[in-house]
Amino acid sequence: MTIQATLFRSCALALLVAGLAVSAHSQTDNPPRRAPTATDSTGVGSISGHVTLPSGDSVNNRVRITLSTLNDPGMAGFTDNNGNFTFNNLRAGNYSIEVVGDHKLFEPTTEQVFLPRGASITVTITLREKNTAGESKPVGVVSTAEADEKVPDAARKAYDKAARLASDGKISEAVETFKKALDIFPAYLRAHNDLGAQYLKLKRLDEAAAQFEAALDINPKVFNPRLNLGIARLEQKHFSDALEHLNQAVALDSSSAAAHLYLGMVLEETDELEAAARELRTALSLGGPTMAVGHFYLAQVQMKQGDKEEAVRELTSFLKASPDNELAPRARHILEMLKQQ
C-alpha cells in the first residue's frame, strides 16, 4: 500500500459557527492568548470570560457566545445578565470564541485562545461599536441576524432554548426544539442553519444539506449556510457541488479562513494541486493556529506532487501546532514512514 493510500482524510465538521455569519470585521487583531501551564488530574480544562461594552462596563443583558475548534462545529451558549460565561470539560487545543451582541449596535467579535491540557483560563472580550459610516462587512454578505430581524418572539424563544440544548450536548432534544421554532416561523433562516449543523454532528448529511438549502432559499447571500452546505457536500463526496458552494462562500467572504480551508480540501480531492496549495496556505495565513490542520492537508498535496521534504515539513508544523489533534497519531505514523524512505 502506498503512502498516499494510507494518508487519512478527515473532513472534520469544523468552524460551522452555528447561526453566526462571520464578517471581515469579526476578527480581532490580538494574537491567541496562552494560559498558565498548570494542569489538573483529569486533563480537561475550562474557558471562562466576561463580555464588556466599548465603555468597559459589563453588558446588562444576555449575549450569545459560540465556542468552536477545527474539530467541533461550535458550542453555542449565552452569557448571564452581567456578561459572564464558562465552558467546562474542554480538551487542550486552539479555540475560537465568537461574541454577537445587538447586531444594530455592535460588530461580531472573535477572540482566539489556546488552552493547554487541564488548564483554566479567563478572557475579557470587548464589543465593538458598528461602523455606520461605511461598510462593516464584505459587500453582498448578509448576516443571519439581519436576515432574521422579523422573527416572532415565540420562535426566537424556541430557538434560544434549542441553542442551549445544543450547547449542553443534548443534540436530539436540540433538533426537535429547532423544529418547533421552524414550525412557528418557517422562514427562520438561522434556525434552518443551526438545525443543519446538528444534523451534521449526527452524520445525517442529506438532512443537513436540506436545511442549509432551505436557509439559502430564504436568502442566498448569507455566508454561513453557504459554507456549511459546501462542507456537507464535501462530506457526501459530491465534490463538484462542494466546489461550487465553497467558491461562492469565498466570494462572499474572502477573509474566512474556514472557507479557504475547505475549498483547498476539495481542490486536493479533485487533484487541482496548485490551487489546493494556494487555498490551504491562505487559510493558514488568515486563521493562524486555529487552522493548523491546513498543514496536514498541505502535506497530502506535497505527497501527491512527489515532494517528500515539503511533506515532512508540513507534517512537522502540524504536530508542533496541534499535538493533541485527532489527526496527530496518523500524522506521526505518516511522518515516520516518510523519514524511513
- Calculate the alpha carbon distances from 62 to 80, 84, 149, 255 in Å: 5, 9, 18, 28
Helical ranges in 202-238 per DSSP H: 205-218, 223-235
Pairwise CA distance, residues 321 & 133, whole Å: 39
Distance CA 107, CA 221 (A): 18
**In this prediction, what percent of the chain has a pLDDT beyond 70?**
80
In a domain, 40, yes or no: yes
Residues 27/32/35/37 CA torsion (nearest 10 deg): 150
Q: Is residue 239 part of a domain?
A: no
**The residue count for the chain:** 341
* 106 part of a folded domain: yes
Confidence check: pLDDT of 19 > 70 = no
Domain span at 105: 24-130
Longest Cα separation, the chain: 63
- 104 located within any domain: yes
Please state which of the ranges 139-148, 157-166, 179-188, 308-317 shows the lowest mean pLDDT.
139-148
pLDDT at 16 over 60: no
Q: Is 307 within a domain? A: no
Q: Is residue 99 part of a domain?
A: yes
Instruction: Copy the grid coordinates of residue 329.
Output: 497519531
**In a 10 Å sphere around its CB, with 0-12 CB exposed, 13-18 middle and 19+ buried, how is residue 275 labelled?**
middle
- pLDDT at 267 exceeding the cut of 70: yes
pLDDT at 24: 28
**Closest by alpha carbon to 222, among 131, 130, 136, 147?**
147
∠ Cα 30 33 35 (to 5°): 165
Residue burial 227-258, b: 16+ Cβ < 10 Å; e: rest? bbbbbbbbbeebeebbbbbbbbbbebbebbbb
| Total count of domains within the chain | 1
What is residue 202's predicted lDDT score, i.e. its pLDDT? 92
Which grid cell is 334?
505518516
More confident site: 139 or 221: 221
Residue 284 has pLDDT above 70, yes or no: yes
List pLDDT tens digits, range 101-125: 877 777 778 777 777 777 888 888 8
Rounded Cα–Cα distance for residues 186 and 270 (Å): 37
Across the range 294-314, mean pLDDT stands at 94
Amino acid 43: pLDDT = 61
Has residue 207 got a pLDDT over 90?
Answer: yes
CB 159 within 8 A of CB 137: no
Q: Report yes or no on 19 lying in a domain.
A: no
Out of 17-26, 98-107, 125-134, 151-160, pick the least confident: 17-26
Residue 178: closest CA among 151, 141, 147: 151
pLDDT value at position 183? Answer: 97
C-alpha cell at 333: 505514523
Q: Per-residue pLDDT tens for 155-188?
A: 989 998 998 888 788 899 999 999 999 999 999 9
Residue 128 has what DSSP assignment?
A: E
Query: Looking at residue 119, which CATH number applies to its domain?
Result: 2.60.40.10
Statement: the pTM of the whole predicted model exceeds 0.85: no
Q: Is there a domain that residue 184 lies in?
A: no
